[in-house]
Amino acid sequence: MSLAPQEKTDEVYVEDSKAQQGSDREGSYTNGKDFLPTGRRMTALEKQEALRLAELADPGFKAFSYRGFIFTLYVLVVCCCSGDNGMDPTVMSAINSMTQFQSYFGIASSGGVPKTGIVFGIYTIGNVCSVFPNAYLPDRIGRRWSMFVGNLILILGAMLTANATSIGMFMGGRFLTGLGCTFAATSAKSYLAEITSPSSRGRFMGLLNSFYYVGQIIASGIAVPTGRYNNDWAWRAPLFVQGVPAIINIAFIMLLPESPRWLYSRGHTDRAASILANLHSRDRDVNSPLIQLELREIEEVISLDDATKHWWDFRPLFNSAASRYRIYLCIIVSVWGQLSGNGLITYYLTVLLNQAGITSPDRQRVLNFVNSITSFAGALSGTAISDHVGRRFLMIFGSCCAASGMAIVAGLLSPAGPQSVMRANAGVSFIFLFMVFFSFGWTPIQALYPTEVLSFEMRAKGLAFQTLITQGVSCINTFALPSALAAISWKTYIIFACFDVLGIATCYFVTVETKQLTLEEMDAVFESKHPRKFADDLSKEARRRVREERAARGIAV
């Protein structure tokens, strides 16, 4: 199929009467091109109606089918990039409690806070350095190859740390691990957002970030038995395992289709149409009304100019009010996704348990493992409902729970009042509950929301910039928290509780709803005079569209 160049406008054209006819028979669409510009101009709300009619004509493949199974395998391969990211803090938290690791490198928990900080922090420095390849390579070589290269670097770093014979070699490996991990993870976000449909994007993007905890579960689970070894394998084994998700991704990523939006931006329109049809159309028909409408929307917002011409220039992220608003939303996710108190628990659970009176290293590793499992359960629950309750609800609810959890933990672990084992155990329990509710509200959002609010032209650089902000904020967790815990102990929780209250207000008054909207429809949202209200109107129309589609397919609504 060849899409002839047509005049670009800000609207989509469609003849409603023909669009409503759907297909003459399964696998044959006679009027798919009626969704291309042939009639009147349409507003953004009318685009929703066009999409509703297109999905009624071509509802796509069923989730519980062979094609649905294959697509799920695609998603799981991509999710390995998030599993990479989840392993590192858990591995480091686990081996940091091992006397075998501390004695080998001369890192003492009592007097070595600054040295421990830099061992943790060199990974963050690698994350920050990934900003530059992330701004260039995903748009230049594609999303798949970017994941491949990033994971290759990560594997090299994991091998260096696992075989380290000096602190310099160990830190060099951690730098490469941080560089490769973030490079691969950022490309994975773009890729998955660009191959999923609006109705399933929240679910699959939430699953992507939830795999952070799969990495945690594997790492903490391995550390429990190996921590009992009386040799170097106690800490080397978990570091070797850190490269496993990256190996899986490298082995299978090139079997997946490339992002159709990236292909279209490089001029491969026929191939992009074919992949879109295979991913979204019930009959794999490029003439399907749904595929023709998606292609038309992509054509309107993607420039065929060389997107990497000025890869070093980040000014386009701030050159308009709409662009600045998008970036501001990404910053909100970065800041409260890292500074809600979760970093305190993820990186320094061992220290918190010591303060609560749990000093057995073996028990600490077991509790770390349990925390990973309960956090994963919370993340999956949030992912499952993200397309129903919306993104704003998850952010606001997550911040409310985070503020409450931090305040309760501060009260239970403070020295005021009678001290008891029961009180300390209650404090530890609320630490775990905090992570469950934080994971429910914020974990699905961290990968999903930035990819939705950024336009295609902004996505690679925008996600790279967001990575810079995220890792900059993470430096507070990495370098400042050890000193804060040593100086003010339980009062650290109060600081996080106050910051979470500010997060509630920010999310309520600033964020826009994105559920059920196409990536291209988000352009209309941010170009409007009142993005929040306009997004709500589009989202309501999208919900109506989904209800009618499900009713047409005989699914209970």
Per residue in 111-126, pLDDT tens? 444 356 677 778 888 9
Quick: pLDDT tens for 227-243. Answer: 888 999 999 999 999 99
Residue 470, C-beta contacts closer than 8 angstroms, at least 6 positions apart: 127, 334, 337, 338
Instruction: Look at the alpha carbons of 455, 458, 461, 462 in this order and tell me if their dihedral is positive or negative.
Output: negative
Nearest Cα residue to 514 out of 246, 205, 232, 272: 205
Q: What is the mean pLDDT of the chain?
A: 83
Quickly count: other Cβ atoms within 10 Å of residue 111's Cβ.
8
Q: Residue 25 above 90 pLDDT?
A: no
Quickly count: other Cβ atoms within 10 Å of residue 315's Cβ.
9
Q: Residue 469 above 70 pLDDT?
A: yes
Q: What integer pLDDT is reported at residue 12 of this predicted model?
A: 34
Amino acid identity, residue 123?
A: Y
Nearest Cα residue to 442 out of 383, 387, 496: 383
What DSSP assignment string belongs to 84-129?
HHHHHHHHHHHHTT-HHHHHHHT--TTT-HHHHHHHHHHHHHHHHH
Q: Residue 26 above 50 pLDDT?
A: no
Compute the distance between CA of residue 557 and CA of residue 546 in angstroms, rounded to an integer. Answer: 9
Quick: pLDDT tens for 95-110. Answer: 877 888 888 888 765 4
- Token pair listed for 17: 């009467």
Compute the distance between CA of residue 44 and CA of residue 42 in angstroms, rounded to an integer. Answer: 7
User: Which carries the bigger pLDDT value, residue 293 or residue 402?
Assistant: 402
Of the ranges 135-144, 193-202, 394-403, which one carries the lowest mean pLDDT score? 193-202
Compute the distance between CA of residue 163 and CA of residue 149 in angstroms, rounded to an integer. Answer: 22
Mean pLDDT across 204-213:
90
Phi then psi for residue 337, to 5 deg, are -75, -15
Residue with tokens 């400042």: 480
Q: Residue 24 above 70 pLDDT?
A: no
Compute the distance between CA of residue 251 and CA of residue 152 in angstroms, rounded to an integer. Answer: 11
DSSP state of 307: T
337 burial (CB, 10 Å; 0-12 / 13-18 / 19+) is: buried
Q: What integer pLDDT is reported at residue 33 of this predicted model?
A: 54
- Token pair listed for 247: 């190996």
What DSSP assignment string belongs to 172-229?
HHHHHHHHHHHHHHHHHHHHHHHHS-HHHHHHHHHHHHHHHHHHHHHHHHHHHHHTT-
Mean pLDDT across 280-297:
88
Q: What integer pLDDT is reported at residue 483 of this predicted model?
A: 80
Full-model pTM: 0.79
387 touches 196 (CB < 8 A)? no
- Token pair listed for 455: 């336009």
Domain boundaries, the chain: 66-257+308-510
pLDDT class of 418 with cuts at 50, 70, 90: low
Nearest Cα residue to 444 out of 482, 405, 494, 394: 394
Q: Which residues of 396-431 are buried (b: 16+ CB within 10 A; e: fewer)?
A: bbbbbbbbbbbbbbbbbbbeeeeeeeebbebbbebb
The CATH code belonging to domain 66-257+308-510 is: 1.20.1250.20
Compute the distance between CA of residue 10 and CA of residue 322 in angstroms, rounded to an integer. Answer: 15
56 touches 21 (CB < 8 A)? no
Amino acid identity, residue 522?
A: M
Mean pLDDT across 141-153:
96
Q: Residue 2 above 80 pLDDT?
A: no
Q: Residue 60 above 80 pLDDT?
A: yes
Q: What integer pLDDT is reported at residue 555 of this predicted model?
A: 55
Q: What integer pLDDT is reported at residue 539 of this predicted model?
A: 78
Quick: pLDDT tens for 177-198. Answer: 999 999 999 999 999 999 998 7
Residue 363, C-beta contacts closer than 8 angstroms, at least 6 positions apart: 353
% of the chain beyond a pLDDT of 70 = 84
